[in-house]
Amino acid sequence: MNINGKHHHAIWLNIQNPFVVDVIDQRVLPHKIEIVSIKTTDEVVYAIKEMVVRGAPLIGVTAAYGMYLGCVEAKDKLDAKTYLNEVAQKLNATRPTAVNLAWAISEMLMVINKTDDAEEKIKIALKRAEEIKQEDIDICYHIGQHGLKLIQEIAKNKKGKTVNILTHCNAGWLATVDWGTATSAIYQANQAGIKVHVWVDETRPRNQGANLTAFELNQQGVPHTLINDNTGGHLMQHGMVDLVIVGSDRTTRNGDVANKIGTYLKALAAYDNNVPFYVALPSSTLDFTMVDGIKNIPIETRDENEVKYIQGLENGEIKSVLICPETTPAMNYGFDVTPARLVTGLITERGVCDASEEGIRKWFPEKF
């Protein structure tokens, strides 16, 4: 999608140096547009952990490039196989909830392990990382096509009046490579001339909604309004939300959805107010090995300072300020799990399905 009218991806191979991977630094958006050039696997680990890049699909694509850089580093190692397994492990340990990470690493290991030749490994790894990136773009486009039909239907029922969509966190193009998951249908509806308006949850503590989703929608010219995290229920009670679309970091084979903390509360409010609650996700976010998300999905706990401090712009400078007594302890769960029963449907690249084992099986029979 566009930044200042110019098309961008969230990650790309450096044009001058094919051993360098460039990403947009998401820690400083929307105030600054800065590119970080990643040269080593340690830098990939840092970028994912510290959320220079974030969002489940983009974490996966970044890890795929990380494995490619691992192959470059492995060239000088005595035992390349052990080295690459160590790289895989350290990448895998960066963030626990988004299953796309493990998926991308295992895709990369599968091709890398096909040869013992160091140069060949590098070539194969780069090819697969570029493919995973392109697949992500195509998948997100198709998720948008399927989601578009839902928005078209609502627009038809509303006789062309504005469709109000609420989203949480950033499941936009910055969380993928292009298009986004939850936002893809919104962008495509907007491009098709359907009147849409997006309620953007700020998404404390890191404010991915305020910083990233609002930035994206603004850049794409999609009408939107920022709301604090507690507003959604009130809007739903007053008929001001037609549809909720969120992303996911991991969805179990029975349809339980892990997504950014606070998603569950939006799903409860949507359920109580008969507002359709959809989850847009690529199949790389489906964990076909897991059931019962509440019990089994590992939930990331992050530094308490993300809750105690808030980042913003003052006199052109990005600053962080304390918002509670310094000694007050804080708890920072990154994600929660919305049980399948609260989810109206899953919007995947193959089509929309029920959030249930039967529903998911319909589009992905080969995984069962």
* Burial (CB count <10 Å: 0-12, 13-18, 19+), residue 286: buried
**Using the rule CB under 6 A, is 306 a contact of ligand MRU?**
no
Among 136, 249, 256, 287, the one annotated catalytic:
249
When the beta carbons of 73 and 180 are compared against ligand MRU, the nearer one is 180
Six token digits for residue 334: 């990154």
169 touching ligand MRU, by CB under 6 A = yes
Q: Is 347 in contact with 185 (CB distance < 8 Å)?
A: yes
Name which position in 27, 57, 80, 286 contacts ligand MRU (CB under 6 A).
57
CB of 134 to ligand MRU, least distance (A): 17
Q: Which is nearer to ligand MRU, 175 or 360 (CB)?
A: 175
Which of 55/147 has CB closer to ligand MRU?
55
**334 touches ligand MRU by CB under 6 A:** yes
Closest by CA position to 73, among listed 94, 102, 45, 50: 45
Region for residue 63 given its phi and psi (left: phi exceeds 0; alpha: psi -120 to 50; beta: otherwise)? alpha
- Candidates 11, 38, 44, 55; binder of ligand MRU (CB under 6 A) is 55
Interaction of residue 166 with ligand MRU, rule CB under 6 A: no
Closest CA to 229 of 273, 256, 258, 199: 199
| Contact assessment for residue 69 and residue 38, using Cβ atoms and an 8 Å cutoff | yes
Please report whether residue 260 would count as binding ligand MRU according to CB under 6 A: yes
| Distance in Å from the first CA to the final CA of the chain | 35
- Total interface residues for ligand MRU by CB under 6 A: 18
Q: Which residue is nearest to ligand MRU (CB)?
A: 247
**Residues contacting 316, CB < 8 A, separation 6+:** none
Question: Cα(357)–Cα(368) distance, rounded to whole angstroms?
Answer: 9
Active site residue 249: yes
- Per CB under 6 A, contacts with ligand MRU among 268-287 are none
Q: Is 171 in the site for ligand MRU (CB under 6 A)?
A: yes
Q: Is 209 near ligand MRU (CB under 6 A)? A: no
Interaction residues for ligand MRU, span 80-119 (CB under 6 A): 98
Torsional class of 130: left (φ above 0), alpha (ψ -120 to 50), beta (otherwise) = alpha
Q: Which residues are catalytic?
A: 249
Which residues of the shown chain bind ligand MRU in the complex (CB under 6 A)? 54-57, 98, 169, 171, 175-176, 180-181, 208, 247-249, 259-260, 334
